[in-house]
Structure 1
Amino acid sequence: MPYPTHRYRALCDLTPAEENALINLGDAEVVRRRGQTFQREGDVVSGFYLHIRGWISSSIVLRNGDRLIQKVHLPGDMLATPSMVLPHAADTLTAITEAVTAFVPYERIGQLWTEMPRLGALFTTAAQMERLALMDMLAITGNASAKEQLARLLVDLHTRLTPIDMVQDDSFHLPLTQEIIGDLVGLTAVHVNRTIRAMEAEGLISRQGHRFRLLDLPALRQLSPLPPRRPRFEAPWLPAAAV
């Protein structure tokens, strides 16, 4: 399975050369078993990972020893890029489900900026979209109700899963424990469970095991505290495309 390039195609029309460069940027694919940690906070780092398949979490350990999951990664993401500015890994990466990644040495991404400057610019833009997502999360943490927080998370997952064909009839598999969901929205697992039940009772969502269906997507979008971010397409400052 090739590396999904939808995040970049949302920013511009990739040339065949750019698409091929992205797909072949990483080393050989590596299968990560469920629960496997393949990068630990504090590890010496020499590159990042293309996320090809499965669900992966990014977490840090607080001074009191508690683990905090900050992000759930989906195919098409680039993992461990915040560590590019550090001598050691900024976070721990763990496979939530069986997952597939491909390692990219820093030297290779450096060559990309030289040989394909527009693709390098798109990489930078994709990283800024991640920053926007974190800004939005920080903006509403502690400033929104549990229902609003959960609505934002479900709408965000729906948006991110749709381009990789993982949404059918507004439903998708959600392999996250209530503890992980609680970390992502700043709630206890008990509060997450109570809020999910309340949203089911209101006809906003339905649930069968780990499969969630968004029954009233417009209402959930309205309930989300912030509107979705729409990336700018074909920004005029992008360098010329490689042919």
Structure 2
Amino acid sequence: MAYPIHRFRALADLTPQEEQALLALGNPESLRRRGETFQREGEPTKGFHLLISGWVASSLTLRNGNRLIQKLHLPGDMLGTPSMVLPTSADTLTALTEAVTAFVPFARYGALFAAEPRLAALFTMAIQMERLALMDVLAVTGNASAKEQLARLLLDLHARLMPIGLVRDDTFDLPITQEVIGDLLGLTGVHVNRTIRSLEEAWLIAREGAQGHRVRLLDLDGLRQLSPLKARQPSFQPEWLPAAR
């Protein structure tokens, strides 16, 4: 199993040397069981993780003890990169499904800036795309209806799962509970369930499977019109990007 590098290919044409360096960046793979927390907020850390397969949640714990899920991570994502500017972990990482990760020591990542400067710059771009995604979440939180927020989330998952072959006929697995969706959107589980039903009644989505953990987007255009934000499209090989070696 290899780390999916589609996110970097969306930013630039990678040389064979860059692809090899990217695929060799992480330590041997680690299997994460569903529900396993493998990084805790506030604990010392010396690196970040590459997500090879599975779904992982990044969360913070508020002073009142409530959990705030900030991000759903999918294969190809980098987990825990904000911690590189702190003495301890910035967030908690929990496997929502069985997952496979590879740990990258910060020192090994830092060496990229000398050995593969263009690849290091692409990492910077990928991390900035994460920042844009969080900006979008912040923009809609409290400023959009539950239906609008859910439409944006489903479109985001569709766009991120498509490049790794996990969408077929606009249908994909949604292996997370309504509680997790509620934590992510700032809604109660009851409100999430009611909102999902409203999207079904509007013929925008359909749930499939015995437990409804598979979703089909019936009307992509309708969901895009409902979403309060347009999808971000990164620049491909911007002028400032260092030349390939």
TM-score by length of 2: 0.98
Cα displacement (A) at 1:222: 1.2
Deviation string for 1:157-215 (max 9, x for gaps)?
00000001000100000011111111222211111100100110110000022000000
Paired with 1:17 and 1:4, the residues of 2 have a C-alpha distance of 16
SS in structure 1 at match of 2:71: strand
Aligned position for 1:225: 228
Number of residue pairs the alignment of both structures matches: 242
Q: 1:146-225 residue pairs with structure 2 within 5 A?
A: 146-208=146-208, 209-225=212-228
Aligned position for 2:127: 127
Cα displacement (A) at 1:119: 0.4
Q: 1:6-155 residue pairs with structure 2 within 5 A?
A: 6-155=6-155
Paired with 2:229 and 2:117, the residues of 1 have a C-alpha distance of 33
Aligned position for 2:5: 5
Provide runs of 4+ in structure 1 moved above 2 Å.
none
Paired with 2:52 and 2:40, the residues of 1 have a C-alpha distance of 20
Paired with 2:186 and 2:10, the residues of 1 have a C-alpha distance of 30
Cα displacement (A) at 1:67: 1.1
Cα displacement (A) at 1:85: 0.4
Partner letter of residue 236 of structure 1? E
Paired with 2:227 and 2:37, the residues of 1 have a C-alpha distance of 32
Paired with 1:68 and 1:134, the residues of 2 have a C-alpha distance of 13
Deviation string for 1:25-79 (max 9, x for gaps)?
0000011011111101111010000110000011111000111111110010010
Residue ranges of structure 2 left out of the alignment (5+ in a row): none
SS in structure 2 at match of 1:100: strand
**CA root-mean-square deviation:** 0.7
Paired with 1:23 and 1:221, the residues of 2 have a C-alpha distance of 34
Paired with 2:45 and 2:202, the residues of 1 have a C-alpha distance of 47
Paired with 2:35 and 2:184, the residues of 1 have a C-alpha distance of 18
Paired with 1:229 and 1:202, the residues of 2 have a C-alpha distance of 26
Partner letter of residue 27 of structure 1? N
Percent sequence identity over aligned pairs: 70
Match of residue 234, structure 1, among 237, 240, 244: 237
Cα displacement (A) at 1:122: 0.4
TM-score by length of 1: 0.98
Paired with 1:196 and 1:66, the residues of 2 have a C-alpha distance of 24
Paired with 2:227 and 2:17, the residues of 1 have a C-alpha distance of 39
